[in-house]
């Protein structure tokens, strides 16, 4: 049985969302598989090149042809999954990446791509769990471990995130990305001085690191210095144009400043690169809400439709639930309809979530005004997925 060593040769970038902009890294993975069909490999190479050239439809067609010729060609499944994710077909992408993972369970780039896909959907805990399982058998998979830090932090598992970041630094001392993720985890724990020190170390280690620049921006934002934060996020976006999280953070700063039209531009630009990014969709809905005119409900209806789509896809997305509640209560003047969303937010949000007191106030007001909602939101049928951007 010939050993195939093709991993990463035709790998494409999978755009991240939420916590970090990650690129799949070529790794020397050796997986014992039957010899590859040469025609299938040729189609795969052509498909990968087409994707790099921006010919997405041609790339998808060629990669499907490669798979039809050799269904065991895990690299083709992987590349097709990445291209489909970029096109916004997250369900199709997940199918291909899962197939690739079954064929090549040791391929780190596949584990990373699946982790990023789940994070784009807001499924932070699922991403963290799957990456943790992969790391049990692949303790030296550094890039997967760095992504796991982000997923753990965003799912509220801060102590586990600290431990994983420290594991990265043991294996790769001075790594800028690991230092930046460690800084953000300390920031999430409320330890801003420690976070600032670690972010500075990350930038000293690599002044061009988009992740380190982003961490500095988040720390500045937590300190109320929006101008410094915006400059840091801009630097991150310039360092890595695929860093969608930098654009998300720029949008958040603009929202805080009341520059809703500019914020809308940032969120729409993010969605051009990463369709169905839950954080960008929720941010866009907030921007549209801010731009709304009482005499023109078009933007409010667009915001409501966007939030409904996010909640339908992930019924436990607490950011979407809270924003839907605010939209219904304060802008569409339907407090009874808003109450179930706030209640679901309270059921799913972490204990220390900053918006809990406000959600409790809305629920209390709704209880005093009306004993029951006039309409219930869609039922939450999928498994519980807690955590929020």
Asked if residue 85 is part of any domain, the answer here is no
Please indicate, yes or no, if residue 141 is contained in any of the structural domains.
no
Q: Coil, strand, or helix at residue 4?
A: strand
Length of the chain: 389
Distance (Å) of CA 264 to CA 221, 250, 288: 19, 10, 7
Residue 335 belongs to some domain of the structure? yes
Is residue 303 domain-resident? yes
Q: Would you state the pLDDT for residue 85?
A: 87
CATH at 334 = 1.25.40
pLDDT score of 171: 92
Characterize 80-91 residue by residue with b for buried, 16 or more Cβ atoms within 10 angstroms of its Cβ, and e for exposed: bbbbbbbbebbe
For residue 138, being part of any structural domain is answered with no
Domain span at 347: 285-389
According to the model, what pLDDT value does residue 105 have? 95
Give pLDDT, residue 40: 93
Residue 373 lies in a domain: yes
pLDDT at 381: 35
The structure's pTM equals 0.65
Q: How many domains would you assign to the chain?
A: 1
Could you tell me if residue 386 is inside a domain?
Answer: yes
What SS3 state is found at 195?
A: helix
CA count, 13 A, side-chain hemisphere, 132: 15
Which pLDDT score is estimated for 386?
A: 34
Token pair in block for residue 99: 């197939």
pLDDT along the chain (389 residues), means of 10: 30 31 37 75 94 90 95 95 86 94 96 91 88 95 94 92 93 92 92 94 93 92 89 89 83 91 92 83 94 83 94 86 94 92 90 87 82 44 36
Is residue 231 assigned to a domain?
A: no
CA distance 3 to 59: 26
pLDDT given for residue 119 in this prediction: 86
Contacts of 210 (CB under 8 A, 6+ apart): 21, 236, 237, 239, 240, 243, 246
């Amino acid at each position: 049985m010939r050993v195939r060593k093709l991993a990463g040769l035709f790998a494409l970038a999978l755009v991240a969302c939420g916590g970090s902009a990650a690129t799949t890294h070529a790794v020397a993975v050796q997986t014992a598989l039957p010899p590859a069909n040469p025609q299938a490999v040729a189609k795969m190479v052509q498909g990968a090149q087409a994707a790099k050239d921006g010919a997405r439809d041609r790339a998808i067609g060629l990669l499907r042809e490669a798979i039809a010729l050799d269904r065991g060609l895990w690299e083709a499944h992987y590349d097709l999954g990445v291209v489909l994710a970029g096109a916004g077909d997250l369900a199709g992408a997940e199918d291909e990446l899962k197939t690739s993972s079954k064929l090549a369970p040791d391929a780190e780039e596949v584990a990373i791509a699946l982790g990023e896909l789940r994070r784009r959907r807001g499924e932070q805990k699922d991403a963290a769990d799957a990456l943790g399982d992969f790391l049990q058998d692949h303790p030296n998979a550094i890039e997967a471990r760095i992504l796991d830090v982000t997923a753990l932090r965003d799912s509220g598992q801060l102590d586990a995130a600290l431990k994983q970041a420290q594991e990265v630094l043991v294996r790769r001392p001075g790594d800028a990305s690991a230092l930046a993720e460690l800084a953000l985890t300390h920031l999430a724990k409320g330890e801003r001085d420690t976070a600032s020190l670690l972010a500075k170390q990350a930038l000293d280690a690599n002044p061009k690191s988009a992740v380190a620049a982003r961490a500095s921006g988040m720390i500045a934002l937590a300190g109320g210095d929006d101008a410094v934060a915006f400059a840091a996020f801009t630097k991150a976006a310039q360092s890595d144009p695929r860093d969608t999280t930098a654009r998300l953070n720029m949008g958040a700063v603009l929202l805080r400043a009341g520059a809703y039209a500019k914020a809308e531009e940032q969120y729409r630009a993010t969605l051009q690169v990463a369709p169905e990014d839950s954080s960008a969709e929720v941010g866009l809905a907030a921007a549209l809400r801010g731009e709304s005119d009482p005499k023109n409900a078009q933007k409010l209806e667009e915001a409501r439709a966007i939030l409904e789509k996010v909640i339908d896809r992930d019924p436990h997305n607490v950011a979407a639930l809270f924003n839907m509640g605010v939209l219904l209560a304060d802008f569409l003047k339907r407090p009874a309809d808003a109450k179930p969303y706030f209640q679901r937010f309270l059921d799913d949000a972490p204990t220390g979530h900053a918006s809990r007191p406000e959600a409790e106030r809305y629920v209390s007001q709704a209880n005093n005004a009306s004993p029951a909602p006039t309409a219930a939101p869609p039922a939450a049928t999928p498994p519980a997925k807690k955590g929020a951007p």
